[in-house]
Amino acid sequence: MKIGFIGAGNMGQPIAGRLVQAGHDVTVYNRTRAHAELIAGAKVADTPAHAATDAEIVMTMLSDDVAVEAVVEGPDGFARAMPEGSLHICSSTISVALSARLAKLHLETGRNYIGAPVFGRPAMAAEGKLTIVAAGPDAQLDRAQPIFDAIGQRSFRFGNEPEKAHLIKLSGNFLLAATVESLAEAFALVRKAGISPEAYLDFLSDSLFASPATKTYGEMIAKGLFTQEAGFKLSLALKDCRLVLDAADNEGVPMPVASLVHDQMLGAIGRGYANLDFVGLARVAEENAGLEARGRA
C-alpha cells in the first residue's frame, strides 16, 4: 500500500520502519526533516500535504492535539490533499473531542478515519510488538489490518466510533501512570528500610504482582534508570493525565487517583524533571523519603 506517514519521533521512526520492512511504499513527513531521513527505504516529503497526495492511507503519530490539528488542517495540511476515499489512521494520543471532530471532518470531505493508538515503548515498536486499540467502521478497520499486523502483536477493536479508541488509550495510560506511582512509593519504602530494590523486584516479578508493566517499570525504578533517553517523557504523561481527566469530567466520572497522579507529575515537572521518562516519578518518591536520588545526569 501507499502510505503517508506523519511524525518521525521516538515512536514514529520505528513504526514507519516496520511498514517499510513489510513492503509498503512509505512517504514520511516530519517537522525536523533529518528525523524522517533516518528511516531507511522511505521517501521524505516536504509537507504533510505532499506525504498524503498519492496515499491510500495516511498515518499520524504525533505528540498532542495541537500537532495533529496542524498537519491535518494547517496551511500545508493533508485533509484535502489526500485522495477521496483514502483513510486517515490516527495513532497519536489525542483528546476524545478532537478524535470525534476529525471523524466528522473526514466524513464531510469524502475521506475515511479511524482511531488506532498504540501501547508499547520504542523498542517494542521496532520489534513489531505493539498493542493496537482501534475503532471505526468495520470496512476501514479491515483495510488497516495489514498495517496493524506489521507493527503489532495484537489489535483490539472497540466499535465504530473512532474516538472510543482514544478513550481506551487515555484510560490505559492512566493505569500505567498509576502503576508507576504505586511502584515508586513501594520501592522508596523498601529501600528506606534497607531492603535491596533488586531483590524486591525479583519478588514482584515472580509473584501475585507479575505483569509486563511491573517488570518493565519496576526494573527501571530498581536501577534508577531515569535519565536514559525517555521513551515517554513526563511532560507527555502529564498531558495524557489532563486529557483523561477532561474525558472523565465529560462523562461525569470521578477519578481521584488520576487527580493524585496528575499532581505528582506536576510536582515532578516543577522540580525540573519534564524531560525524564515518566518513571522519573520514582525520583520524587525517593526525594520525599529523604533518600539519595539516583540516576542524575
Q: Specify the DSSP element, H or E, that contains 237.
A: helix 234-251
Dump pLDDT digits (tens) for 209-246: 999 999 989 999 998 887 655 678 899 999 999 999 99
β-sheet bridge partners, residue 87: 57, 112
Instruction: Kindly report which listed range (16-20, 71-75, 137-141, 275-279) carries the lowest average pLDDT score.
Output: 275-279
pLDDT digits (tens, 9 = 90+) for 164-187: 999 999 999 999 999 999 999 999
Instruction: State what percent of residues in the chain have pLDDT above 70.
Output: 97
Cell of 270: 516543577
The residue with cell 483514502 is 86
What residue ranges do the domains of the chain occupy? 2-160, 166-288
Residue with cell 487515555: 170
C-alpha cell at 217: 517499570
Residue 27 phi/psi, 5-degree rounding, is: -115, 125
Number of C-alpha atoms within 13 angstroms, CB side, residue 119? 23
- The model's pLDDT over 1-18, given as tens digits with 9 standing for 90+, comes to 999 999 999 999 999 999
Report the C-alpha gap between 269 and 230 in whole angstroms.
14
Query: Which residue bears the cell 498515518?
Result: 59
The CATH superfamily label for domain 2-160 reads: NAD(P)-binding Rossmann-like Domain (3.40.50.720)
Q: What is the pLDDT of residue 297?
A: 41
- Kindly report the backbone phi and psi dihedral angles of residue 237, in degrees, each rounded to the nearest multiple of 5, phi listed first: -65, -40
Q: In the prediction, which pLDDT does 53 show?
A: 95
pLDDT of 228 reads: 55
Which among 169, 192, 215, 239 is annotated as catalytic? 169
Task: Say which CATH superfamily domain 166-288 falls into.
Answer: N-(1-d-carboxylethyl)-l-norvaline Dehydrogenase; domain 2 (1.10.1040.10)
Catalytic residue flag (residue 169): yes
- pLDDT number for residue 233: 87
Long-range contacts, 103-106 (Cβ 8 Å, 24+): 103/136, 103/161, 103/162, 103/163, 105/72, 105/73, 105/79, 106/79
Strands (E), the chain: 2-6, 25-29, 43-44, 57-60, 87-90, 112-115, 118-119, 130-134, 152-157
Q: Which of 15-29, 44-58, 204-218 has the lowest mean pLDDT?
A: 204-218
